[in-house]
């Protein structure tokens, strides 16, 4: 990891991401591998000597202490003089917009405020690394979105290297510099959010990060380029010519499909379901390729109904070959 970077560990529950975080924090013994911080091996260091800032999923505020005492606890343990302690607490509370709440107890605060206290408590010690364990999962949708931006703003201002564990893909995409996807204890892809969304490496990632359509096709070599063969049509693929050919699964994002008149697209389909999501529409279409999801941004017209027939068209370049799905068959 780079200094000042915001990395997310993304994965479904039970994939080992929280365990990974707990290993970094020192609450769980490391079974294999090593953890290095600033050129120092901290694999077996005690948790109270690592000096990392941690925000827990349950916030884990000290319920019997005021906000002020909660935040200054870490400084107290570091024997920071009282005057400096108060100054630094005031400064960090100001940053998380909690000035004036110093004398409240945690149970007198709302969920979002508690979250910010937990963040302030972890940041006030100026930790080399900030660990966030599903920090936003206990907040309601609106607040969660606000806190995502808050979190990013504060992290950018302080420049603290941050590792966040989350199962929420949109959260991981929107605030991280890099996303690490974990699947049953293994890292399957590490990329920037954009690259992760655009080029998912496995079927799991393509369905877990955003919505996608999975298409079965046969990959065929034609001179220098590769073609994906469907029943009745072929589309060029934008992948390395050395890729294997044969049966494969391709990922196609719903927003990459355009609706046209019937007969003018690659396939025809009938709308079976319509979902309105505010900023966009989501359609389910029954096609010869199976059920396809199509997303269309809301431009102010609501004239597509269930039962309508459309042609579907998309560029071959927007399809992505999924690695684990190809039946290896080099020629």
Partner 1 sequence: MIKPRSVPWFLCAPALVLFVVMVLVPLFLTVILSFHVFDHNTGIKNELTLAHYIEVLSDSYYFEIFWRTIWISALTTLLCLLIGAPQAYILSRMRSPWKSILLLIIIAPLLVSVVVRAFGWSILLGPSGLVSLFADFLGIKLSRILYTEKAVVIALVHIMMPFMVIPIWTSLQKLDPSVQDAALSLSATPFTTFRRIVLPQILPGMLSGSLIVFGLSASSFAIPGLLGGRKLKMVATVVYDEYLYALNWPLGATIAIILLIANLAIMLSYNRVIERKYRRALG
Q: List residues binding partner 1 (CB under 8 A).
A: 25-27, 46-54, 56-58, 60-65, 73-74, 77-78, 105, 107, 121-122, 125
CB 203 → partner 1: shortest distance, Å?
A: 34
End-to-end, the C-alpha distance of the chain in Å comes to 39
Q: How far is the C-alpha of 123 from the C-alpha of 129, rounded, in Å?
A: 9
As to burial, measured by CB atoms within 10 angstroms (0-12 exposed, 13-18 middle, 19+ buried), residue 117 is buried
Identify which of residues 49 and 299 has a Cβ nearer to partner 1 in the complex.
Answer: 49
CB 11 → partner 1: shortest distance, Å?
A: 20
Identify which of residues 65 and 325 has a Cβ nearer to partner 1 in the complex.
Answer: 65
Identify which of residues 54 and 196 has a Cβ nearer to partner 1 in the complex.
Answer: 54
Which of 259, 177, 169, 164 lies closest to 207, judged by CA?
169
Identify which of residues 128 and 316 has a Cβ nearer to partner 1 in the complex.
Answer: 128
CB 100 → partner 1: shortest distance, Å?
A: 18
Helical residues (DSSP H) of the chain, grouped into ranges: 17-25, 47-50, 67-77, 82-95, 111-123, 141-158, 169-175, 193-198, 203-208
Identify which of residues 58 and 192 has a Cβ nearer to partner 1 in the complex.
Answer: 58
Identify which of residues 118 and 322 has a Cβ nearer to partner 1 in the complex.
Answer: 118
Q: How far is the C-alpha of 223 from the C-alpha of 240, rounded, in Å?
A: 13
Q: Residue 321's beta-bridge partner residues?
A: 250
Q: How far is the C-alpha of 34 from the C-alpha of 32, rounded, in Å?
A: 7
Output the six-digit token pair for 266: 């690659």
CB 241 → partner 1: shortest distance, Å?
A: 51
Q: Residue 167's beta-bridge partner residues?
A: none
CB 163 → partner 1: shortest distance, Å?
A: 13
CB 64 → partner 1: shortest distance, Å?
A: 4
């Amino acid at each position: 990891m780079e200094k000042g970077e915001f990395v997310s560990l993304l994965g479904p529950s039970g994939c080992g991401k929280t365990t990974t975080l707990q290993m970094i924090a020192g609450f769980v013994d490391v079974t294999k591998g090593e953890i290095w911080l600033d050129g120092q091996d901290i694999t077996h260091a005690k948790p109270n000597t690592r000096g990392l800032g941690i925000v827990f999923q349950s916030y884990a505020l000290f319920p019997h202490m005021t906000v002020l005492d909660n935040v200054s606890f870490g400084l107290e343990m570091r024997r920071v003089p009282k005057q400096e302690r108060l100054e630094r607490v005031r400064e960090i509370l100001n940053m998380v917009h909690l000035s004036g709440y110093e004398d409240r107890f945690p149970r007198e605060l709302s969920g979002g405020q508690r979250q910010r206290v937990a963040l302030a408590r972890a940041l006030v010690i100026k930790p080399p690394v900030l660990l966030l364990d599903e920090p936003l999962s206990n907040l309601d949708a609106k607040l969660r979105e606000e806190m995502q931006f808050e979190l990013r703003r504060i992290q950018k201002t302080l420049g603290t290297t941050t590792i966040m564990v989350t199962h929420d893909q949109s959260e991981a995409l929107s605030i991280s510099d890099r996303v690490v996807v974990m699947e049953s204890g293994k890292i399957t892809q590490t990329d920037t959010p954009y690259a992760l969304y655009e080029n998912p490496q496995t079927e799991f990632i393509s369905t877990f990060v955003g919505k996608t359509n999975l298409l079965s096709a046969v990959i065929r070599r034609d001179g220098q380029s590769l073609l994906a063969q469907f029943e009745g049509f072929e589309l060029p693929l934008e992948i390395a010519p050395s890729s294997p050919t044969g049966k494969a699964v391709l990922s196609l994002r719903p927003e990459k499909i355009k609706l046209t008149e019937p007969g003018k697209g690659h396939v025809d389909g009938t709308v079976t379901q319509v979902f309105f999501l505010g900023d966009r529409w989501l359609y389910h279409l029954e096609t010869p390729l199976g059920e396809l999801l199509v997303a269309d941004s809301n431009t102010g017209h609501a004239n597509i109904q269930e039962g309508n027939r459309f042609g579907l068209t998309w560029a071959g370049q927007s399809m992505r070959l999924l690695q684990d799905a190809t039946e290896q068959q080099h020629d």
